[in-house]
Structure 1
Amino acid sequence: MFQTAAKTLSVASSVSRAISVRHYCKKTTRKLRISEALLGSELGANVKVQGWVRSVRPQKTNLFFHVNDGSCLQSLQIVAGSDLDEPLLTFGSAVEVTGILKKSPHQKQPVELEAEQIHIIGECNPVDFPFKIKERHSLEYIRQFPHLRCRTNAFSSLLRIRSEATTAIHSYFKKNGFVQIHTPIITSNDCEGAGELFQVEPSGPDYDENENFFSVPAFLSVSGQLHLEVMSGAFSGVYTFGPTFRAENSQSRRHLAEFYMVEAEVSFTQSIEDLTKVMEDMFRSSTEHVLAHCAEDVNLFHKHVTPGHRDMVDAMLKRRFPVITYSEAVDILNRSSQEFAFPTDWGCDLQTEHEKYLVKHCGNIPVFVTDYPYDLKPFYARDNQDSPEHTAAAVDLLVPGVGELCGGSLREERLDLLRARLEEAGLEDTYSWYLDLRRFGSVPHGGFGLGFERYLQCILGVDNIKDVIPFPRFSHSCLL
């Protein structure tokens, strides 16, 4: 009898626990990103979403509003009874909503959330908020508010595209066997030789202004190339992707004081074609990845910000990039009926107006220009000694709407020629370590740099480089 009672108690306890577990599961609320909720895989579940209100539409019996959390372009519609109406629920406010995810009766949206609880996390006065509901603001307008412009559809789309493009570039290099190198931000080298440097020194009463903190003058990096060249003595392919700095007193639509650059160095190559192949393949691979993984965001730009630009992007991906020499480029410019502000004599550097004309002349697709005059290039560019004119084994990639996107060269691996070039420039002592690279196990190599913001300008059709970076830095402007 005792055993029977114990068994009955055990069964009752098990049933109680089972009911308790079922009850607990029923009440469990799963937190979802908006992108996850819109997939509809959690229909009927009790879920919680957090985000910012993009629109509010009160009616007699129901309240409709849309919430976005930045995970995708689309917003999730929330349906709430009038009893849940909150006076602080306004455009721009931050909210947390709990409810049942249901299939929407409207074709424009796959699902909607039937709210059971609404919690206002952050209030927003829509009168003072610089962005107005249902108004499509221009990129120039939202640029005035670098601390708030990520709240707009256009700029949040840009930031998702930028993130995905970063992933695509890293994926390309990983797939092709390159090793990522974290090159320094602070350096004692002026890689470009243009003198447009930001010098780095500490401030404060404890530091002597007449003494260098690093014992030598130090600068913010204009390029990681020389550090990649060091690594090319141990790896067949290396790359870096990070911020670079130029102290250019420019307000142009193509220049920034701080921007991101993708740089690569390829060992065991004596061919410019090896470099142009990497440039073109990376451009194609990354662009195709972005178009596939950010379709809605890219379409927003191509439809509302830069109408018709998608056709140009498709044309770039369909055709191989043509290659012309600098001499051929100068001939094309001189035969043109267009008047240029800058000279087009052989030996002159190509300006933006020249670059854009050459791109149009070649069918409005990217074009490589090779074999520049030797005197236009830095000390490390390889001398084309067998050319009738004195040229360097250098190459630029010019693209529609932007001009120069990539710049690169084969590096001078011949010790005697390199030493003579450095002596001529008075740099032999400064770059004695660079000569060591040629003395100990040197191999022919070359590399290039790609301006990441210019790449985004190119594929999205954005006219101003300040509109494709979260916090633009340029002369007389360092907001935030």
Structure 2
Amino acid sequence: MLRTAARTLSRRVFRQTLRDFCEKVPRNLRVSEAISGAGLGKNVQIQGWVRSVRAQKANLFVDVNDGSCLQSLQIVASPEYNDPQLTFGSAVEICGVLKKSLHPKQPVELEAEHIHVVGECNPLDFPFKIKERHKLEYIRQFPHLRGRTNAFSSLLRIRSEAAWAVHSFFKENGFVQIHTPIITSNDCEGAGELFQIEASCPQNSEDDNFFSVPAYLTVSGQLHLEVMAGSFSRVYTFGPTFRAENSQSRRHLAEFFMVEAELAFTRSIEDLTKVMEDMFRRTTEHVLDRCPQDVDLFHKHVTPGHRDAVETMLKDKFHVVTYSEAINILKQSSQAFAFPTNWGCDLQTEHEKYLVKHCGMRPLFVVDYPYQLKPFYSRDNQDSPLHTAAAVDLLVPGVGELCGGSLREERLDLLKARLEEVGLEDTYSWYLDLRRFGSVPHGGFGMGFERYLQCILGVDNIKDVIPFPRFAYSCLL
């Protein structure tokens, strides 16, 4: 009996000792967790970067952020912790007790018991200055450091949530994700704007290709998705794509991300436009709901007033006009365009932006383009006298074209004739096989992810919505 009682007592002592030890060991929290009150009243540790230091007679105030949210956590410490190395931009580990704050603008604060400067930062050399709101053009010069700024850290959190929302949308709607290749032997767009891949150390002679055929960085995963749409009725991909465009415009990059989807057993453009519109709405609503502070930072300080534009875009169902109707709208306009507006011409950015403005600054679908303007895979509407393709573009305010898609030509004879016309029958013999073995009506589209971010945030330059922009004559890092 005595031995049993002793064992029971020792277990209780051990458990109490363990609890006491755990109470003393600081719990590692992210700033977002601390601000939400997750460790209130507990001994916690915060790791991050100093956003500001304010030394007073009675207290030292330090704001620390770790990138988990826009708001920084205020640290209250004794003046004895005012270390010369504790400066704006320095990396720190801080332990203390998380308590409720008396200040109305912050729910909690950390009473520091230990401050350790992990990495020093000389504020005189640091390109970003405390309490200064730098423009996006300025911070773009420092791709290795711009994640430390409020604006760009907000952008990256928004980008992360938007990407998650896109994947979630497709998952909930029965799409299977396909990892399409980055290295490819085809030019899906047919524009010839390709980066060719060559081995830095040729294996044999200079005439040999590493892959036995010329290989390129992909411009689109569409053709590979079409392959998979012959086995799965709904597929999508989300990954990097590349265009060798010698462009310095605000809408183009040499490397960017594309969201692409393909639907089998699809017979109308309306099937595609519904998915495009639903994806846009669901993703945007998710971002507005999950990143309110980050979005507000852009809409208040970077692109003032853009929140109203986003709400207008989400208010009503997207407009739909045919290409012919769009040309008539442009012809009746009093605006002088730099590019022609005759039937058969391709719509330029100036045309796209005017059409969106004409429709009340709401997203606009333009359908049924001239057949000769679209790639070989676009379905022939076989209408007369206007020869059009079952193609669609989604135009949005501030950006112009956001999505492009079409029904695909599933009729073997028509597809074969088109490939012969453009001299690609041998190159795409495998593509013809897709029409020989269980072909079905199908269609798909692609959306430029960076342009989407430009659209909802109102950012003028596409280089400011991607972590590491690649464009002609620039490949920093």
Same fold (TM over 0.5): yes
Alignment of 1:123-142 (within 5 A): 123-142=120-139
In the alignment, residue 222 of structure 2 is paired with which amino acid? Q
CA change 1:10–1:430 in 2 (3 A) is: closer
CA change 1:219–1:7 in 2 (3 A) is: closer
Partner Cα separation in structure 2 for residue 234 and residue 15 of structure 1: 62
Q: 1:192 aligns with which of 182, 189, 194?
A: 189
In the alignment, residue 357 of structure 2 is paired with which amino acid? K
Q: Which residue of 2 aligns with 1:33?
A: 30
1:305 aligns with 2:302: yes
CA change 1:388–1:56 in 2 (3 A) is: same
Alignment of 1:261-410 (within 5 A): 261-410=258-407
**Is the deviation greater in 167-176 or in 202-211?**
202-211
Q: 1:104 aligns with which of 90, 97, 101?
A: 101
1:62 aligns with 2:59: yes
Aligned-pair CA distance for 1:333: 0.3
CA contact (8 A) 2:202 2:210 kept: no
Q: Which residue of 2 aligns with 1:167?
A: 164
CA change 1:8–1:366 in 2 (3 A) is: closer
Aligned-pair CA distance for 1:61: 2.2
Partner Cα separation in structure 2 for residue 279 and residue 321 of structure 1: 10
Partner Cα separation in structure 2 for residue 416 and residue 236 of structure 1: 23
Partner Cα separation in structure 1 for residue 336 and residue 145 of structure 2: 42
Q: Which residue of 2 aligns with 1:151?
A: 148
Aligned-pair CA distance for 1:13: 3.9
1:116 aligns with 2:113: yes
- The number of aligned residues is 477
User: If the length of structure 2 is used for normalisation, what is the TM-score?
Assistant: 0.98
Q: Which residue of 2 aligns with 1:210?
A: 207
**Is the deviation greater in 26-35 or in 275-284?**
26-35
**Residues 163-202 of structure 1, C-alpha deviations (whole Å, 9 max, x = no match):** 0000000000000000000000000000000000000011
**Residues 354-392 of structure 1, C-alpha deviations (whole Å, 9 max, x = no match):** 000000000101000000000000000000113430000
1:47 aligns with 2:44: yes
Partner Cα separation in structure 2 for residue 89 and residue 180 of structure 1: 47
Partner Cα separation in structure 2 for residue 96 and residue 338 of structure 1: 59
Aligned-pair CA distance for 1:23: 2.4
**Residues 449-475 of structure 1, C-alpha deviations (whole Å, 9 max, x = no match):** 000000000000000000000000000
CA change 1:302–1:9 in 2 (3 A) is: same
CA change 1:7–1:243 in 2 (3 A) is: closer
Partner Cα separation in structure 1 for residue 372 and residue 315 of structure 2: 36
Percent identity of equivalent pairs: 78
Partner Cα separation in structure 2 for residue 46 and residue 438 of structure 1: 66
CA contact (8 A) 2:203 2:210 kept: no
Partner Cα separation in structure 2 for residue 12 and residue 439 of structure 1: 80
In the alignment, residue 269 of structure 2 is paired with which amino acid? I
**Is the deviation greater in 466-475 or in 14-23?**
14-23
1:258 aligns with 2:255: yes
RMSD of the alignment, in Å?
1.3
Aligned-pair CA distance for 1:209: 2.8
Partner Cα separation in structure 2 for residue 473 and residue 65 of structure 1: 36
